[in-house]
Amino acid sequence: MLQNLQIDWLKCFVAVVDTGSLSSATGEVHRSQSAISMQLKKLEEAVGRRLLDRGPRKLLLTQDGQMLLGYARRILDLQAEALSALHGDELTGRVRLGVPDDYATRYLTPVLKRFAPKHSGVEIELNCEQSPALIPRVARGELDLALVSRDHARRGTLLFHEPMVWVGSPQFELWRRDPLPIAVYEEASLARRGAIQSLAQQGRRYKVVYNSSSLAGQIAAVDSGLAVAALTQCSAPPHLQVLGAAHGLGPLAPMEVAVYRSRESRGNKAVDSLHGLLIRTLRQST
C-alpha cells in the first residue's frame, strides 16, 4: 500500500539535496542528523524507491530521487502559498543581501520580482560587491545571504555553473597582440585567477593593463580597445565579440554560483523565505 507523503519528509529530502549532506541540512530544517536520516528512511519506505546514494563527498540523487525532487519542490511551494493565502503576509523585518554586479540583473532581479509583492513587509538591503568581498561579510554576520561565485566546493548551496567567456571589441583585434593586453578584477577574484591560469596553460604572454572590481569598468576597457577581458557569460554585452580558439584563446573554467547564508540568520523567517526562493528559482538539477 502506497503511503501519503508527509511534508516533514519532503522538507528533509529537499534540504539534504540542496546542502549536499545530512549534517549540513540540520540548520535548514532545525532537526538533528539522526532525525533527518529517519525522515529520509520513512520517505524511501513510503515511495518504495531508493532516493539517495552516498557519494565520496556528498549524497547523490538516484534517478527516482531526481524525479521526486521536482514534485517535492512544487508541493512545498504550494504549501507555503496556501499558508500565506490563509494567514496573510506575516513576514516582516530586513534581509541583508549581497550580489556581484554580473549576477544582479540576470539572476537576482527575477527572484526579487517574485518575492517583493508577496512580502511587502520585508525590507531588502542590497549590497553589490564582488564575491571575494561578500563571502567574508556573510561569515562575519554582516550579510544574511549572498549570491556569489563560491571559493570552496563545500561551502554554501550550489545553484548552477556559470560559463566564462573571453570578450573583445570587434573594432580592435587586440587578440593578435603579444603580449595580450587584459583587463582583470582584483587579486582575490576567481575570474582573474581563471583567466591567468588559462593563459598560463597556453603559454600565452599577457600584460594587465586594467585592474578594477567594477564590471562597468571591465566593459569600458574592452569597448575602448584597451584590453580583452574574461567575463561571466551572463554579463557579456551582446555588442562585444566572444573570443575563442580561433583567436588563440583557450577555454575558461566556469564559476560555481552558490548562495551563502550566515549562521546568525538561522530562524529568521524572512531570510528563510528568500533563501528558499533563491534555491527553488535558480538551482539547476543535480
Digit-coded pLDDT (tens) for 86-101: 766 578 899 999 999 9
**Tens of pLDDT, residue by residue, the chain (286 residues):** 567 899 999 999 988 887 778 887 887 788 999 999 999 999 999 999 999 988 766 788 999 999 999 899 889 878 877 777 776 657 889 999 999 999 998 899 889 988 887 787 899 999 999 999 999 999 999 999 999 999 876 688 899 999 999 999 999 999 999 999 999 998 889 999 999 999 999 999 999 999 988 899 999 999 999 999 999 999 999 999 999 999 999 999 999 999 999 999 988 989 998 998 898 888 864 3
In a domain, 201, yes or no: yes
What does the pLDDT read at residue 285?
44
Q: Which of 58, 88, 118 is the last residue of a domain?
A: 88
How many CB atoms are closer than 10 A to CB 179?
Answer: 12
Asked whether residue 80 falls in the same domain as residue 199, the answer is no
In a domain, 81, yes or no: yes
Domain of 49, in residue numbers: 7-88
Asked whether residue 178 falls in the same domain as residue 208, the answer is yes
Asked whether residue 155 falls in the same domain as residue 227, the answer is no
Asked whether residue 150 falls in the same domain as residue 260, the answer is yes
pTM, rounded to two decimals: 0.70
What does the pLDDT read at residue 286?
38
CATH of the domain at 279: 3.40.190.10
What does the pLDDT read at residue 8?
94
What does the pLDDT read at residue 57?
65
For 226, phi then psi, to 5°, come to: -80, -35
Domains of the chain: total? 3
What does the pLDDT read at residue 89?
56
In a domain, 62, yes or no: yes
